[in-house]
Amino acid sequence: MRHKILYAIALPIISFILVITLDPAHVYGKAPQTMPHLIQTVSEQDIFEGMLALGLLETPVLVEDDCDKAYENVKACVVRINMGNAYGSGVIWEMTSEKIVIATNKHVLEFWDEQVSNVLFPQGSYASAELLGISEEYDLGFLTVDNKELDYMELEQLRYVHFDMNVYNEMKEGDEIFCVGATGRHSEGVENVVQSNGIYLQGTIGNMWQYIEEFDEYMIYGYGYGTPGISGGGTFDPKGNFIGMISGGTMDGEIASVPLTIIVEAYAELTE
């Protein structure tokens, strides 16, 4: 009974408060000529910067292993680097409110010329870029794109790579991986290569830290078939975690990728 009394008293009071709050004539004696703006408009810049601050532009990662589904998630972080008659791939390493940082291979950037070169993003937008730096020790370099080169709706469609050092450290021989590069020529007769909006190949790890004589450095050695244009693209685990950057492959079914640890180290050295 006590509760029923309280409810009976409370409901009329709440209703009265709502009337006073929502009816301007109750407060002012007459309705005002203009109502205050209760809803503030949000610009595309606000949306982009909000997504960026919340980490919503980072590539999503699956709970269960599934290379095909993970590929769909990471496509938006892979770009094509055009350099006249030559081209290669790159990955969006970092995004800020001012710029996009792209990581790629040093051997791809040997052809870079800011007068004629550009970056093609996965949604179809072209942008000029500047060379941030090239590693002296590793097959690795970085470009930067000013955000002003794209509009905010285009920026919202991009994704930067997600990586987890604990996941990387647990990778071992026999684990599945997949690599993604920008659209290029299709290699006839090569299995597990899909070309639609990009190049997608599946493989396995042979050794997470093996000396590769051709590159004169320690790299992730794997089994899979590379194809022209994939150099500088991403190497991922089956959930979509970025673990390295593919640098090359052979027709014998071998691939080599720059390890994540080296990319982190090289970027820190360039930006410190």
Q: Domains plus CATH for the chain?
A: 51-160 (2.40.10.10), 169-268 (2.40.10.10)
Which parts of the chain sit beneath pLDDT 70? 1-40, 184-197
Res 144: pLDDT: 98
Percent of the residues in the chain that have a pLDDT greater than 90, as a whole number: 72
Single-letter amino acid, residue 227: T
Res 33: pLDDT: 55
Res 82: pLDDT: 94
Q: What is the DSSP letter of 76?
A: G
- Give the count of beta carbons closer than 10 Å to the beta carbon of residue 124: 9
In angstroms, the first-to-last Cα distance of the chain is 71
pTM of the model: 0.82
- Tell me how far apart the alpha carbons of residues 191 and 65 are, in angstroms, rounded to a whole number: 20
Q: Are 89 and 120 in contact (CB under 8 A)?
A: no
Res 40: pLDDT: 67
Res 163: pLDDT: 98
Res 220: pLDDT: 98
- Tell me how far apart the alpha carbons of residues 109 and 112 are, in angstroms, rounded to a whole number: 5
User: From the centroid of its chain, how far is CA 238?
Assistant: 16
